[in-house]
């Protein structure tokens, strides 16, 4: 199956909109992994195995691996997810954005080297910087639209000459002219539910990756209400730190704590969904 097919199957088969972000901060890894040369992989692997039946996707953040020279552990992790949990798509959170020739290499990195099912991309250099990713027809291309960070308002919320917001122009292009292969999705933060609702109205049933719940404080109920599709799906609500580090302060099995946090988050999301 391609990314879109896998995502839709995961939504229905697991009855979940939860995406778990894999952001392994070496300063916060549990003491039980101290001294292991593959601690990053082992930490993420155990959390993946504890939560895979609860999620619609996993989203490893590439910088947490490359900053530690752990690219091999990222490759191993994605390989593990595909081998042990087939059908759970992997989104490489890379937020790449560059001219076409360089974008070709970034697309090859994400899809050929790391074997990711989708990648996050910064579209603000225009169509030619996005096209190399879109050419991989079976892969998802998740474009930054209205991001969850406060500074996103510096540019994304600006009015264009015709009065349209910049983020809205991105949404329209992603759901229209740029989406010839049907492999586009968008990033819209949980911290901006009004904009999330506007994007949903613009793009129809296009999948939306929604960061910002959990540690960033985005409101689950508001996000689900604003962004779900008519059948109660359409969203990948991402939580990272609140699940990864759920065992901090209580000790014990970090993977079991992550599973409890994921169960609670999925239940909170599902309580807000359309029946």
Q: Which residues are catalytic?
A: 95
Calpha distance 36→44 (Å, rounded): 13
Main-chain phi, psi angles of 111, to 5 degrees:
-95, -30
Instruction: Give me the residue label for tokens 């079991």.
Output: 256
Query: In this predicted structure, which of 11-20, 22-31, 123-132, 210-219 has the lowest mean pLDDT?
Result: 210-219
pLDDT band at 14 (very low <50, low <70, confident <90, very high): very high
Q: pLDDT tens-digit profile of 186-231?
A: 999 988 899 999 999 999 999 999 998 865 667 899 999 999 999 9
Cα 130 from Cα 123, distance rounded (Å):
6
Beta strands in the chain (DSSP E): 18-22, 57-60, 91-96, 118-121, 140-146, 184-188, 208-210, 235-239
- How confident is the model at residue 1, as a pLDDT? 86
Predicted model pTM: 0.96
pLDDT at 252: 77
Mean pLDDT score across all residues of the chain:
94
What beta strand segments (E) does 112-234 contain?
Answer: 118-121, 140-146, 184-188, 208-210
* Tens-place pLDDT, residues 231-248: 999 999 999 999 999 998
- 146 forms beta bridges with 188
Compute the Cα dihedral for 118, 235, 49, 214 and give only its sign.
positive
Per-residue pLDDT tens over the stretch 66-108: 999 999 999 999 999 999 999 999 999 999 999 989 999 999 9
């Amino acid at each position: 199956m391609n990314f879109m097919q896998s995502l839709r199957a995961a939504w229905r088969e697991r009855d979940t909109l939860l995406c778990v972000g894999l952001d392994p901060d070496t300063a916060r890894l549990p003491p039980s992994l101290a001294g292991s040369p593959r601690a990053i992989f082992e930490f993420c692997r155990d959390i993946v195995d504890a939560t895979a039946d609860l999620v619609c996707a996993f989203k490893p953040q590439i910088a947490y691996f490359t900053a530690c020279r752990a690219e091999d552990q990222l490759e191993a992790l994605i390989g593990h997810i595909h081998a042990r949990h087939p059908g759970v798509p992997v989104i490489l959170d890379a937020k790449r954005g560059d001219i076409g020739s360089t974008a070709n290499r970034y697309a090859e990195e994400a899809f050929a080297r790391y074997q990711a099912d989708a990648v996050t991309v910064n579209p603000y250099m225009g169509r030619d910087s996005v096209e190399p990713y879109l050419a991989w027809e079976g892969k998802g291309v998740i474009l930054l639209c209205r991001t969850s960070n406060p500074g996103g308002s510096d540019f994304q919320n600006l009015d264009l000459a015709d009065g349209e917001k910049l983020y809205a122009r991105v949404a329209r292009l992603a759901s229209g002219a740029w989406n010839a292969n049907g492999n586009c999705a968008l990033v819209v933060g949980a911290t901006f539910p009004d904009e999330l609702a506007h994007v949903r109205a613009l793009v129809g049933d296009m999948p939306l990756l929604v960061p910002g719940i959990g540690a960033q404080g985005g409101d689950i109920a508001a996000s689900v209400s604003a962004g779900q599709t008519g059948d109660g799906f359409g969203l990948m609500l991402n939580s990272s730190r609140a699940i990864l580090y759920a065992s901090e302060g209580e000790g014990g099995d970090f993977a079991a704590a992550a599973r409890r946090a994921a169960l609670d988050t999925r239940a909170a999301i599902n309580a807000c969904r359309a029946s």
